[in-house]
Amino acid sequence: MEYKVEAHRIMSISLGKIYNSRVQRGGIKLHKNLLVSLVLRSARQVYLSDYYSGACLNAAQSEREANEWDITDSEREKFPSSTTECDRVESPEEPQQTERPEKEHEHRENDDDLKSDQVDCTSTLQQEQNQNSLDSVANVSSETPPETIKEPKESPSESAVAERDSTPEANGESHQPPKTHVCSNRKRSAEETESGDSPQKRIKVASSDAEGDEEAEEMDTSNVSNLITIFGSSFSGLLSKDGAKPESETEDSGQICCDQMLKNLNPWSTAIVAF
């Protein structure tokens, strides 16, 4: 299990690097961020490879894990339509915000996926896990070879995407599309008005959003087929959330933020697209 700890540590370090790269002088260095994200992906694969083998047994536990996530009041306010699904959506907001500015457009899709993940997580987790292996394989045919392990939490999002595209089957999904759009819009405004951030960060957020607008022609956040493409691309291995870790490190509140960050790898994966 040491490699799991090691992988977890490497993931935290990588996330820290990506976060720090935002405030570095000279702008975000594409090369370094690409390398860091590759390391992060490798570490994540190792980390989750072990998890997946126990995932089917721990479906219920992972749901419990999701419930344990911190939810700040401010976040709750921003999502007045919050149901339990939305609560789970909110919880990754906090750590996500720190990674946000780099992620713009990719992040937008990730938000959608993330929310769909969590929605699925809460409602029909087990059902989807069964569907996942089939759907994810079908949908992510272009997934790069290293991504041989389909993490349960990654799959829900993929299947959610696929299902959204074709026929919404699971419970939470019928109201997903509008909610995700609403959420993503809210999330963006939430990001822009996040409290306690330095002005510098705010400027960078605004600028990265501006850049995101520039890139908007490439990425349409509401385009579901893009979401499928995202999951299909090598980069996207990072996009899915890890869902719950079997170990409940959530007891340590100091760890929670980090864990939540790790659970939501979407934000930082868009480090690359900050231009």
Partner 1 sequence: HLLLGYTDVISTVEFNQTGDLLATGDKGGRVVIFQRETEVESGEYNVYSTFQSHEPDFDYLKSLEIEEKINKIRWLPQQNAAHFLLSTNDKTIKLWKVSERDKRPEGYNLKDEEGRIKDISTVTSLRVPVLKPTDLMVEVRPRRIFANGHTYHVNSISVNSDGETYLSADDLRVNMWHLDITDRSFNIVDIKPANMEDLTEVITAAEFHPQHCHLFVYSSSKGTLRLCDMRESALCDKHSKIFEEPEDPGNRSFFSEIISSVSDVKFSHSGRYLLTRDYLTVKVWDLNMEKGPVETYQVHEYLRSKLCSLYENDCIFDKFECVWNSTDSVIMTGAYNSFFRMFDRETGRGVTLEAWRESSKPRAVLRTRRVYTGGRRRRGDVGVDSLDFTKKILHMAWHPAENIIAIAATNNLYIFQDRVNAENL
User: Residues in the site for partner 1, rule: CB under 8 A?
Assistant: 6-7, 10, 13, 17, 25-27, 29-32, 34-35, 38-39, 42-43, 46, 106, 203-204, 206-207, 210-211, 215, 218-219, 229-230, 233-236, 269-270, 272-273, 275
Q: Which two tokens stand for residue 38?
A: 């590759």
- φ, ψ of residue 241 in degrees (nearest 5): -85, 155
Q: Which residues of 96-121 are buried (b: 16+ CB within 10 A; e: fewer)?
A: bbbbbbbbbbbbbbbbbbbbbbbbbb
Would you say 91 or 236 has its CB closer to partner 1? 236
100 residue type, one letter: R
**Residue 192: how many CA atoms within 13 Å on its side-chain side?**
11
Residue among 125 and 140 whose Cβ is closer to partner 1: 140
Q: Which is nearer to partner 1, 27 or 178 (CB)?
A: 27
Contact 265, 114 (CB under 8 A): no
Please, what is the minimum distance in Å from the beta carbon of residue 201 to partner 1?
11
CA distances from 247 to 50, 124, 128 (A): 12, 22, 22
* Smallest distance from partner 1 to CB 235, Å: 4
**Residues in Cβ contact with 163 at an 8 Å cutoff, skipping those fewer than 6 apart:** 135, 169, 170, 173
Residue 174 CB, nearest approach to partner 1 (Å) = 28
Per-residue DSSP letters for 208-247? HHHHHHHHTTT--TT-HHHHHHHHHSGGGGGTSB----SS
For partner 1, which is the closer residue by CB, 139 or 269?
A: 269
Cβ 146 to partner 1, closest distance in Å? Answer: 11
Smallest distance from partner 1 to CB 7, Å: 8
Complex with partner 1: residue 134 or 216, whichever CB lies closer: 216
Q: How far is the CB of 274 from partner 1 (least distance, A)?
A: 9
Judged by beta carbon, residue 230 or residue 244, the one nearer partner 1 is 230
